[in-house]
Structure formats: C-alpha cells, structure tokens
Structure 1
Amino acid sequence: MARVERGTPGRLDRMLNWIERAGNRLPEPFILFVLLILLLAVVSTVLAAFGVTVMIPGEDEPTPINGAFTGAGLQFMFGGLASNFIEFPPLQTVLTIMLGVGIAERTGLLAAVIRVAFGRAPKWLLPYALGFIGVTGSVMSDSAFIIIPPLAAMVFKAAGRHPVAGLIGGFAAAGAGYSTSPLVTSLDALFAGITNGVAQTLPEAGTAVTPVSNYFFNVVASVALALIAGLIIAKVVEPSLERNQFPRDEVAEDDSGQSSTNVDALLKVELDPAERRGLRRAGWSLLAAIVAVLVLVLVPGSPMRNEDGGFLPESPLLDSVVTLVFIGFFVPGVVYGVAIGEITKAADVPRLMGQALRSLTGFIVLAFVLGQFIALFDWTNIGSWLAVSGANLLQQAGLVGFPALLGFMVLASFLNLFIISGSSLWTLLGSVFVPMFLLIGMEPGLTQAAFRIGDSATQVMTPLNPYMIVLLTYVRRYQPAAGLGTVIARMVPFVVPFWVVWAVILTVFYFADLPLGPGMGIRVE
C-alpha cells in the first residue's frame, strides 16, 4: 500500500484546516439553504419595494426585481413547491444516471473494468490521468460531476492510494476545468451561439464564432490544467488527507449490510474465468448499443437531428446526453450481471437499481430545498441584477486593453459563485462585454475565451453548486461528520492555481497574437 509521509502540518494545512473548521460551523446544508431562502426573500422584497430594476442589454424595457413576500411571490413559492423540486435539473440528471451506474457498480462490472485498466498502472501516474479525465470531462456535460469522482475513488482504492483524494481530485478537475477540453463539446456550440447573437448587434461584428473558435486555446489549457490538477492531487490533497488521518474505508452500509463498493473485488487484480467472460459479453453489448445509437443518429431524416439536418448548435442528440450515459452503463451492467450470476431473475434488476439510489437519499432531501432556492433566485431576477451591476462597475472603472480583460475574468469568477449556469451567466455578461470589447478591437472569440476561465475555476468552492452536495454525500461515506467546510477546504488548493495558469495561457495568446482557434484571432482586423 502506498503511503504518504505524515509530517508536521505546514501553513497550507493550517489554512485549510481553518477553512474546514469555519465552514463546518455553518448550519447543516438543509438548514443553510432554508436560511438563504429567507434572506433572499427579505432582500428581494426590500429591493422590489424600492422599485429597483435592471436594464438587461438587448431588452426593450427594464426588468423589475420581484419580491418574494408579495402576492405574486407567495403564489410562486406556494404553487411551485412541488415543481421546483421535481424539475430541479441536477435531481433529474443525478437520479437517472445513478440508476444506470448503480447497475454497473452493484454487479461488479465497474470493479472489473478498473482492475483491468488500472491494476498494473504506475501509482504515480493515477493523479495525472485523473486530472486529464476530469478536465476533459465536460464532454459528458454535467454528468462528469456524478460519474468521475466515485469512479476515481475506486481506482485510487484499488491502487492503494487514498480514495477520498480521487473523489476530491475528480470533482475539482471536472469543475474547475469545466469549460475546456481537447474535444469539441456541446458547450462550445452553446457558447458560440450566444456570442454570435450578441456580436451581431453591432455594425462591426468581428469574426463569426464557431464551436472550434477556441479550440487551440482549449487544447493548450486542457493539457496544462490536467498536469496542474494531477500535481495538486498528488502533492497537496492526498498528503493532507494522510496527515489528518482522514478515513480510507467506507462506513456507510446499505440495507443488506454490504458496503456500496466491493473493496475485496477491487483489490484482487486477477479476473476469474466468469469475470473475463462477463467483461467480454459486456463489451460486445456496449458495442451493440453504440452501433444502434449511431444508426439512429446517422440515418437520413433522423429524429435526433435538428431542423437543419445537423447536430450543432442544438439538436435532440445533444439533449440526450443523460440518456446515452444511462444506456452506456445500464446495458453492459445487466449483461455482466447475468454472465457472472449476480442477476438471475428479472426482479434483480430493479432491486440493484433501488440499492444504488439508497445512498442518495440525503442528496434527494437536500435537492428539495436547493431546488426552491435556485427557482426563487431566478424568479426574483437577483442574479441578473448582480451581473449587470457588476458589469457597470467594471465599465465605470475605466480599464482598457488587457487589464480590462483581466477585470472581466475576475468579475465572471465572482458572479460564478452565485450563478452556476454557464449559459445563463454568459448570456448576461456576453451581452455587455462582447460589444464593449469589440469597440476596442477585441474579437468576440477572445472575450468568450476569457469568460471560460471565470465560468469554471470558482464553481467548485461555492455551496450554491448543487453537485457540491453530491460530492458531500460521497465524502460522508468515509467521514459521516464531514460538512460543507470539509469539501470547500479541499477545493481551495485547486481554484487559485487553475485560475492563474489559465490566465497566463490567455496572456501568452494575447500578447503573442496567437490564433485561439481556426480563423479566430485576438484583434479585429
């Protein structure tokens, strides 16, 4: 078993321990969000009483702040209680994916795959591999937050490393590096559509932004951030967990008394004949599912295409990421379970799916109150008011050139603590800053690249990120007393290095006048 030397905690450890203690003094997440709802309700009502409005660029009329403690506000809160919970997007994503992942985990498929893929891999390489997988995980959209951390914990456990380092590192890399990937993702298409829509409001719109306009920048950033993530996991997070004697073994058990992860199976490197047979059949079933999806997608007139017959910027295919991920785990999971005898009758399938959801009961309860907060935050228009007010302050500061771009990145990073949706935040900020920077000669693609930094780096340290609650659920399998402060403290070492390295990369592109992607320069010709 790999060990990390336990030494006297240094300044970083003391700072992180202080953050953890301070954060854990916050109320339990459920109570915290109840208090935040009350605070939001009071603030919005006061602002509404004073007639505060926000002029969103592109709108003809100012948008008023809606008060929660008004007639309309009470109607919204009382009438939308159930829908705000059931329609909370992360709840739908988490539960659906976990039904599929649960089958693959409970039948032992994931453990077998990990043993084959990583059983003889160098232990020193795992943090860097995890950094790369996490940083590029945005290809799976929000699914990355659900899939990568627990799988990383299993890989680290199998290698004799600290499983919680895998949990923390996987989540941090996936979140703090969310907007970059060496692959073109649906996020690239979404951002490009918003950017072009804003840029076209000016006579000189600059170069049209495409899904690959930031591709060169993204490739460089993804490699650099993956290395930084691996370094932080190996040199900061894991040693800190060891020095603080953070538990390595899960303590939560399901109703059957079995740990949610079969540790013995993970630590056994060699596969027996039944497992090898099961893996082969699972692999063939996954290939068959992929072929079936490709046939459905590529056939002329496919219902998975958009009205123009393509897939970008929007299409039913891109809206089906959760479904595709579910199929990718569920189908081979069932086939593997049948092959090794874990599934002997049809009733075993829903039983295993139900066991997978039991570990998420805490998240489901939190999703109830978190859904109310997010819905009310959106309905009151407080988020729009914060974004536009921040943009106005930055404009009034009189910054020009690259300092203005840096100021924009700082503003986006701050607002990202409150407005987690990247598309919503970019719609608000892009409508102000794309025209503003165009007027001083900066390409829309450059402004979009700068936004990616602010949109990603800080989202892993805010309790308003609903997937932070999912991570806390996983961490509590090892340390039931863990609180929000526990996970926030472990995220802090990633935020500043990611932000700084990403900003340095953009600085090099800016002053060297390097293309950000095919056909996308820095300055308007």
Structure 2
Amino acid sequence: MDTRQNQKSMKLLNFIEEKGNKLPHPITIFMLLTIAVMILSHIFYLMGTSVTYEGVNKETMETEVLTVKIVSLLVPEGIAYMFSNVVNNFTSFVALGPVLVAMLGVGVAEKTGYIGALMTNTVTKAPKKLVTPIVVLIGVLSNVAASVGYVVLVPLGAIIFLGFKRHPLAGLSAAFAGVAGGYSANLFLGTNDPILSGMTTEASRILDAGYTVNPTDNWFFMFASTFLIVLIGTLVTEKIVEPRLETFVPDKQNESVQTLSDKEKKGLLWANISVLLTVAVIALLTVPENGVLRGEGGSLIQSPFMNSIIFLMMVIFLVPGIVYGMIIKTIKNDKDVASLMSASLETMAGFIVLIFFAAQFIALFNYTNLGTLMAVKGSAFLQSIHVDGVPLLIAFILICAFINLFIAADSAKWAIMAPVFVPMFMQMGIAPEVTQVAYRIGDSSTNIISPLMPFFPLVVAFAQRYGKNNGIGTVVSLMLPHSIVILICWTIFFAIWYFIGIPVGPGTSLTY
C-alpha cells in the first residue's frame, strides 16, 4: 500500500514538473495580472461596487466607518495615474531599498569569497550525517542578511551535496527550504521584523491608538520555530526528495567543493575577528543607556539603532569582506572594493527588473481598492463561518499561504491585509502579535513553490546547472513536499503553542 501511495506521489510531482515548466516567465505573469486588475477594476467600477469597513480617516486620523469605491484604471483619471506613477511605484517599493543597501556589504563579502569560505568551512567540517540539517539551519539563519541565502547558500547547498556524492538538487532543495520555507524563523532578528512590526502597529492603532508592536515581539516563537524547520527540512530532503531523484552523473562543468588553502584559512580567521570587533563597536554605541544609537529616554525599540539596522547589517558584512579580500589578495585597493560593490548589484539585475513589474501590479492593485474589497469580504467570510481562536487563526494561515502564491512580497501583502485582519482579530480577543505570527507562517510556507517569488527564477537558474531541461516545474516538484509538510507541521506547532499559552515574544500576550 505504501509503495502504491509513493508511486502516486511521484506521478503527481512529475506531472507538476511537466506542466510547471510550461508556465510563462514571472515577469509575464505579473504583466498578465496587471492587465487582469485593469479589467476587473473597470467591471466593478461599472457595477458601482463599494465596500464599507471601520478604519482610520487619513485626513482626520480618527476611527470611523469608511466607504471605499472600486476605482477604475480604464477611465481618464486611472490612465493618468498609471502613466504618471510608474517611476514612483518602482522606487518606493518597500523591498527594493533595503535589499540593495544590504547587498552592498553582502556582495563584497560574497565576491571576495568570505561567505563561501565561511559556509564551506562550517558545512564541510560537519559529520556526513549532519550535512543536511546544517545546510537547512544555515539557510534559516541567512535570512538575517536579506537575500544572501538565495544568492549564496542555495547554489552552495547543491555543491556541498555533490561533494558528498549526493544529488545536487537535493542539496539545492534543502538550502531553499531553509532560506525561503523557513523565511520567518530565525535565532536572531531579521530585516523583516521591524518592517512587519511597524505595519502591525499602524493596523492595531485603528482600534487602540496607543498600541505598539515591537520588532522583538515574535522572537520567542520564531526562535523555537528554527529547530522545527531544520527538522522538517532534513526529514523531507532525506526521506522524500532525495529518493525520488535519479542517480546524478557529474560532468566537467559541474562544481565541486574546494578545501580552503592556508591563505584562505588565515583570511577567514581575521575576517571573523573583524566581525567580532565590528559588533563590539556597535554594542558600545547601543548597549549603554546613554548610547548614541539609543532613542529618546534610552529607548532601544524607537531608536537610531533600529532605524539603521539595514545599514549596520551592510557594515557587518562589508568589513569582514574587505579584510578577507585584502588577505587573500582579491582586494588590493579602494577601486577593487568599489568594483565588487558594483558587481554585487549586477547580480541583482534580474531581481530589480522583476521588482519593477511587481511594484506596478501591487501599486495598481492598491489604487483600485480591489485589495481592500478582497480583505473586507474575506474577513466577513471568516466571521460568517462562526469560528474564533485557533480555528480562526488556522483559517487565516491557509488564506495567507494561498495568497502568497500570487503576491510574494511579504511586506506588500501585509500592508494590504494587516489593516483588516489585525483590528478584526483584536475584536475577537487575539493580540496583534499573534496575528502577525499566523501571517508569517502562511507567508513562509508557500514561498518555495511560488513562481512569483522574486528569487524563484534565480533558483531555477541554479537548478539548470545540473540539467538543461530543469525548469520551474522541476523546482516546484522538488519543493512541494517541503511546502506541504512545513505548512502542516508549523501550523500544528503554532496551535499547540497557543493552547499552552506561551508568549510569542518578550512582554507580549496572546490575548487582547
């Protein structure tokens, strides 16, 4: 019976791979979605569709019942908006600036070889049995550094597995599962924590003007979730993904794991020392109550430190990258540093182009009020089925997981959903911090199977190194088992956490 079920699963994954490879490029999909928004907005406009909800009047900043009408993009005003806001939609897209700034430092650390040496040194020293969990763990931890996991660890995971005579696509899937499937889990705070908490704060103040959600308010749950994601990623890779793959025969063009030379080991040592010194300097500016990076009254949450966290992350990667490069001679002068910074942004060219089209779609979607319509109607549906507590949160997780297949930018989705779901759940006695956790579970679980996720094409390109016919369907079929198991197990873990009554972060409550 188990054999038959396994054969059916393999056929399903093979079918998904075949059909998925026929999907158009994500840029084309965003263009088609934009056209769909234009058409739907005009249809609902002609129907006179409107939606009423309780929110904050932007002019008076007071809570009141608001009525929003669907705005058409095919009337003169809509057409004018589309043409006149193209540049602003792109440059103001929330994910663009932080990623590019972080990559200035991460890129230097990558291009000099520091990150590769650090990861290779860590993974190759591990016992063979621990390679998979370490690859997944480093993938989860890499989220602290924005996109470095996608750019560095996903291809490195494939190379590491190949070095241990295992299928490189299994290594790719393990790394991708950690980086994207466990995107919200981490032992440390990541770049998305302050972004999401800020949006949750604004949404919660629709009902409670003094409510504040801090970047640390999900840390307990996300810390514990890290170990869950590592366990899931390891078991799925070794029990489901890898057995399905055929024997891989490497050719001359395939990479292999290189051991570090004495000079590289020396560079790695001094680079790591420079990291500790850099962190120490930042700590001296931040830890004391009168530290210059503290906020008013010694606040750490509302402070220059939190406002500059992206820049500080850039510095933490830039300094060891330069030190490592100087020792192994990949950096000889300041011109080399500037060139490496430029090269790091060149690797993001595909991401930037995709963001341009994604930003237009999201901006137009918000302008038409279709997002508000969907969110309000969705919340009305949840209320109509008369569920609350854990069942309501599970339903919300599933909705987030589904929406994530079509709108991959986590901050963009939360900007649309938070103003509706956070106040609604507050009225049901659920704290905003808990709602944010539920959103992050759903948002992370389906990252690895969404072709609209900005780095998905990059992962496809990495997969093609190990087979010219590998495409979108190949990656989806590799990652679907990860996605399903992560969604189910993480949701169960969350439900148990909620039932026990453990705070999701320091100083937080599960109830409002």
* Aligned partners of 1:413 and 1:456 also within 8 Å: yes
Amino acid at match of 2:14: N
Q: After the TM superposition, which of the residue ranges 513-522 and 275-284 deviates more from structure 2?
A: 513-522
Amino acid at match of 2:379: A
2:351 maps to 1:348: no
Amino acid at match of 2:105: G
Which one of the candidate residues 307, 312, 319 is aligned to 1:331? 319
Provide closer, same or farther for how the CA distance between residues 325 and 215 of structure 1 changes in structure 2, counting only shifts above 3 A.
Answer: closer
Q: For the residues of structure 1 that align with 2:313 and 2:162, how far apart are their CA atoms?
A: 24
Alignment of 1:26-425 (within 5 A): 26-59=23-56, 60=64, 61-140=66-145, 144-146=149-151, 148-183=153-188, 214-240=218-244, 242-243=245-246, 245=248, 263=255, 266-267=257-258, 269=259, 271-272=261-262, 274-298=263-287, 304-312=293-301, 314-423=302-411, 425=413
Partner secondary structure for residue 398 of structure 1: coil
Q: For the residues of structure 2 that align with 1:326 and 1:68, how far apart are their CA atoms?
A: 39
Provide closer, same or farther for how the CA distance between residues 40 and 305 of structure 1 changes in structure 2, counting only shifts above 3 A.
Answer: farther
Shift of 1:376: 2.4
Amino acid at match of 2:240: V
Q: For the residues of structure 1 that align with 2:214 and 2:108, how far apart are their CA atoms?
A: 39
Q: For the residues of structure 2 that align with 1:89 and 1:208, how far apart are their CA atoms?
A: 21
Q: For the residues of structure 1 that align with 2:249 and 2:99, how far apart are their CA atoms?
A: 26
Amino acid at match of 1:233: T
Q: For the residues of structure 1 that align with 2:251 and 2:177, how far apart are their CA atoms?
A: 19
Partner secondary structure for residue 62 of structure 1: strand
Provide closer, same or farther for how the CA distance between residues 201 and 29 of structure 1 changes in structure 2, counting only shifts above 3 A.
Answer: closer
- Residue deviations 1:475-509 (CA, integer Å, cap 9, x gap): 44545554433333322112221111122223323
Provide closer, same or farther for how the CA distance between residues 216 and 28 of structure 1 changes in structure 2, counting only shifts above 3 A.
Answer: closer
Gaps of 5+ in 2: 57-63
Q: After the TM superposition, which of the residue ranges 445-454 and 193-202 deviates more from structure 2?
A: 193-202
Give the structure 2 partner of residue 12 of structure 1.
9
* Aligned partners of 1:186 and 1:318 also within 8 Å: no
Shift of 1:194: 5.6
Shift of 1:197: 6.0
Q: For the residues of structure 1 that align with 2:341 and 2:472, how far apart are their CA atoms?
A: 28
* Aligned partners of 1:132 and 1:222 also within 8 Å: yes
Amino acid at match of 1:284: I
Q: For the residues of structure 1 that align with 2:428 and 2:70, how far apart are their CA atoms?
A: 32
Provide closer, same or farther for how the CA distance between residues 32 and 457 of structure 1 changes in structure 2, counting only shifts above 3 A.
Answer: same
Partner secondary structure for residue 108 of structure 2: helix
Amino acid at match of 1:509: W
Q: For the residues of structure 2 that align with 1:153 and 1:276, how far apart are their CA atoms?
A: 23
Amino acid at match of 1:243: E
Partner secondary structure for residue 55 of structure 2: coil
* Aligned partners of 2:379 and 2:424 also within 8 Å: no
Partner secondary structure for residue 54 of structure 2: coil
Q: For the residues of structure 1 that align with 2:83 and 2:230, how far apart are their CA atoms?
A: 45
* Aligned partners of 2:159 and 2:168 also within 8 Å: yes
Shift of 1:184: 5.1
Provide closer, same or farther for how the CA distance between residues 359 and 405 of structure 1 changes in structure 2, counting only shifts above 3 A.
Answer: closer
Provide closer, same or farther for how the CA distance between residues 293 and 58 of structure 1 changes in structure 2, counting only shifts above 3 A.
Answer: same
Q: For the residues of structure 2 that align with 1:96 and 1:452, how far apart are their CA atoms?
A: 24
* Aligned partners of 2:102 and 2:146 also within 8 Å: no
Q: For the residues of structure 2 that align with 1:320 and 1:303, how far apart are their CA atoms?
A: 12
Q: For the residues of structure 2 that align with 1:519 and 1:98, how far apart are their CA atoms?
A: 33
Shift of 1:75: 2.3
Amino acid at match of 1:221: S
Q: How many residues get paired?
A: 500
Provide closer, same or farther for how the CA distance between residues 281 and 180 of structure 1 changes in structure 2, counting only shifts above 3 A.
Answer: closer
Q: For the residues of structure 1 that align with 2:408 and 2:174, how far apart are their CA atoms?
A: 20
Provide closer, same or farther for how the CA distance between residues 438 and 377 of structure 1 changes in structure 2, counting only shifts above 3 A.
Answer: closer
Amino acid at match of 1:223: F
Amino acid at match of 2:299: G
* Aligned partners of 1:137 and 1:178 also within 8 Å: no
TM-score by length of 1: 0.80
Q: For the residues of structure 2 that align with 1:337 and 1:187, how far apart are their CA atoms?
A: 29
Shift of 1:511: 4.2
Q: For the residues of structure 1 that align with 2:195 and 2:110, how far apart are their CA atoms?
A: 33
* Aligned partners of 2:402 and 2:446 also within 8 Å: yes
Provide closer, same or farther for how the CA distance between residues 73 and 428 of structure 1 changes in structure 2, counting only shifts above 3 A.
Answer: closer
Shift of 1:153: 4.0
Partner secondary structure for residue 11 of structure 1: helix
Shift of 1:418: 3.8
Q: For the residues of structure 2 that align with 1:342 and 1:316, how far apart are their CA atoms?
A: 34
Partner secondary structure for residue 308 of structure 2: helix
